Chains A and B, each alone.
Chain A
């Protein structure tokens, strides 16, 4: 007993140390963004100067990303729900192949895809549309997978069968039973898509136009060429932007917004 609890304590310390590794830099970033001098705490030397700079210089980038994110969520949802429904309810030739293809954007490096897209659509380069569709192809798999998984649960199937037995036709079943019962999943998936889109860098870096630079590209620029305090302010702002999405996602259950490296 004694020995086991020693090991258990060691493992829990290891877990806490890992959390420290993951979260300490976030805390330092937030502190640094409010401090007039790097290495000082905000209550020693409070300033909003860095935020002012970020808003002045990158306000446009934030607006672009919010617009792109919103468009991406809408398009992804409109395409993803019917596709997820078809994958979950119908059997057809090539279904397994399609599901495999949907795994592709999961592991295919954004760099490779970005390079591929930009060389294919040379004329469209710099159009906001290209950026949005790029984000759509990158986020669609998450939406489709979550919708499909949720529709495949026995519960939704039973509800649909019950509705059919009560005389509901296909449209009534879909809009009165199926859609409401996967509503939480769709919202969660939409939030995940928004999170992914707001932070997407690899693809965006190849597809953006210098006139409509998205947030992550601006953030990269701040990291690369400006003071660490400004980078911190921008990062804090970005995290603050994501936080409500993440919190709602947590409340709705399990969201796995998986960004790319």
Chain B
């Protein structure tokens, strides 16, 4: 069943506008990530979808059914919470069987379905443990099992990895990805972490100040951001001013770094228009200074293991960040720079 959000707004009693008109169509089986900085409205949106809160205006449709005011307990949406919110007074099996129990499903059937779920998630040996006796990864599996046991129409995940430390977060992220692919339930995942968004989402919805900034596949968002905000929120980017040149060989820009090849011209912009040019750090390569068109002095070098992050100052006066392979030899203070390609956006007074 499709899930459709239609012009949802939410204004709280104190006057804060958490959502200012969100419309979105989510296809069956899709994994959607709601991404944005804190306060962008992503958690509020998830609560409206879950039925834990009601919108000020707008509708939520599941298939053709209007569920805007249906309470959470009658929506059949499993939800995984931050810190997982596993019931501490129940065993793993009881947690997973909770949704079936409150639906009045017989003990025999419940046991059978719980066992099937335990098996799928490799939790059988832990069935009688209490949540506080489980590792973070095991807790995540129980939380997923509990939400999936009710065969939810939509699976909601509210920053499940946020509270964890960096190392655990990474390993649980791949485990989560495997589980989501295994079950292929329509899923909506909320996070403020762009790496999580990129690795988990079929499509990512970037939210900002209660509005959708852009929707697209992770690749599309990265390569063709629709706004400076997205360009900087997903990955990082150097921003420079430029003038658009439309020639037979393709779009390019005159910038403080010299002529730069553009992936695409901003829609509707004419030759000679002033544009914003964004250069990803990894699109900047370091070449020997001799014979290079653009020269720069290295200001700072950060060693990140697999990459080097450089701050350079060009002879034209611009300071930009470059990310280069760690084995790049940097012998002198003066290097040449080569810009592989750049992203162009219409100048917006941001």
**Chain A residues close to B by CB (< 8 Å):** 1-4
A208–B274 CA distance with the chains assembled, in angstroms: 92
A8–B307 CA distance with the chains assembled, in angstroms: 57
A3–B70 CA distance with the chains assembled, in angstroms: 10
**Chain B residues close to A by CB (< 8 Å):** 54, 69-71
A2–B54 CA distance with the chains assembled, in angstroms: 11
| A-side contacts of B54, CB under 8 Å | 1
| B-side contacts of A3, CB under 8 Å | 71
A1–B71 CA distance with the chains assembled, in angstroms: 6
Give the distance to chain B from A197, nearest Cβ to Cβ, in Å: 41
| B-side contacts of A2, CB under 8 Å | 69
Q: Which chain B residue lies CB-closest to A4?
A: B71
A1–B53 CA distance with the chains assembled, in angstroms: 9
Give the distance to chain B from A6, nearest Cβ to Cβ, in Å: 12
The prevalent SS among residues of A at the interface is helix
7 CB contacts below 8 A, A to B, read A1-B54, A1-B69, A1-B70, A1-B71, A2-B69, A3-B71, A4-B71
A114–B108 CA distance with the chains assembled, in angstroms: 61
Q: Which chain B residue lies CB-closest to A1?
A: B69
A189–B54 CA distance with the chains assembled, in angstroms: 43
| A-side contacts of B70, CB under 8 Å | 1
| A-side contacts of B69, CB under 8 Å | 1-2
A4–B74 CA distance with the chains assembled, in angstroms: 13
Q: Which chain B residue lies CB-closest to A2?
A: B69
Give the distance to chain B from A143, nearest Cβ to Cβ, in Å: 34
A1–B54 CA distance with the chains assembled, in angstroms: 8
Give the distance to chain B from A84, nearest Cβ to Cβ, in Å: 32
| B-side contacts of A4, CB under 8 Å | 71
Give the distance to chain B from A216, nearest Cβ to Cβ, in Å: 44
| B-side contacts of A1, CB under 8 Å | 54, 69-71
A2–B69 CA distance with the chains assembled, in angstroms: 8
| A-side contacts of B71, CB under 8 Å | 1, 3-4
A3–B69 CA distance with the chains assembled, in angstroms: 11
Q: Which chain A residue lies CB-closest to B69?
A: A1
A142–B103 CA distance with the chains assembled, in angstroms: 47
A4–B71 CA distance with the chains assembled, in angstroms: 8
A-B pairs with lowest CB-CB distance, top 3: A1-B69, A1-B54, A4-B71
Q: Which chain A residue lies CB-closest to B68?
A: A1
Give the distance to chain A from B62, nearest Cβ to Cβ, in Å: 16
A1–B74 CA distance with the chains assembled, in angstroms: 11
A2–B70 CA distance with the chains assembled, in angstroms: 9
A117–B238 CA distance with the chains assembled, in angstroms: 82
A1–B72 CA distance with the chains assembled, in angstroms: 9
A1–B69 CA distance with the chains assembled, in angstroms: 6
Q: Which chain A residue lies CB-closest to B73?
A: A4
A3–B71 CA distance with the chains assembled, in angstroms: 9
Give the distance to chain B from A242, nearest Cβ to Cβ, in Å: 34
| Most chain B beta-carbon contacts within 10 A, residue among A2, A3, A4 | A4
A4–B54 CA distance with the chains assembled, in angstroms: 12
Give the distance to chain A from B234, nearest Cβ to Cβ, in Å: 36
A39–B127 CA distance with the chains assembled, in angstroms: 67
Q: Which chain B residue lies CB-closest to A3?
A: B71
Give the distance to chain A from B8, nearest Cβ to Cβ, in Å: 15
Q: Which chain B residue lies CB-closest to A5?
A: B54
Give the distance to chain A from B181, nearest Cβ to Cβ, in Å: 35
A1–B73 CA distance with the chains assembled, in angstroms: 11
Give the distance to chain A from B118, nearest Cβ to Cβ, in Å: 33
A199–B32 CA distance with the chains assembled, in angstroms: 63
Q: Which chain A residue lies CB-closest to B54?
A: A1
A89–B254 CA distance with the chains assembled, in angstroms: 70
A110–B70 CA distance with the chains assembled, in angstroms: 54
A3–B54 CA distance with the chains assembled, in angstroms: 14
A3–B72 CA distance with the chains assembled, in angstroms: 13
A237–B14 CA distance with the chains assembled, in angstroms: 40
Give the distance to chain A from B45, nearest Cβ to Cβ, in Å: 18
Give the distance to chain B from A117, nearest Cβ to Cβ, in Å: 44
A100–B54 CA distance with the chains assembled, in angstroms: 49
Give the distance to chain A from B95, nearest Cβ to Cβ, in Å: 25
Give the distance to chain A from B13, nearest Cβ to Cβ, in Å: 15
Give the distance to chain B from A7, nearest Cβ to Cβ, in Å: 11
Give the distance to chain B from A41, nearest Cβ to Cβ, in Å: 37
A134–B296 CA distance with the chains assembled, in angstroms: 84
Give the distance to chain A from B173, nearest Cβ to Cβ, in Å: 32
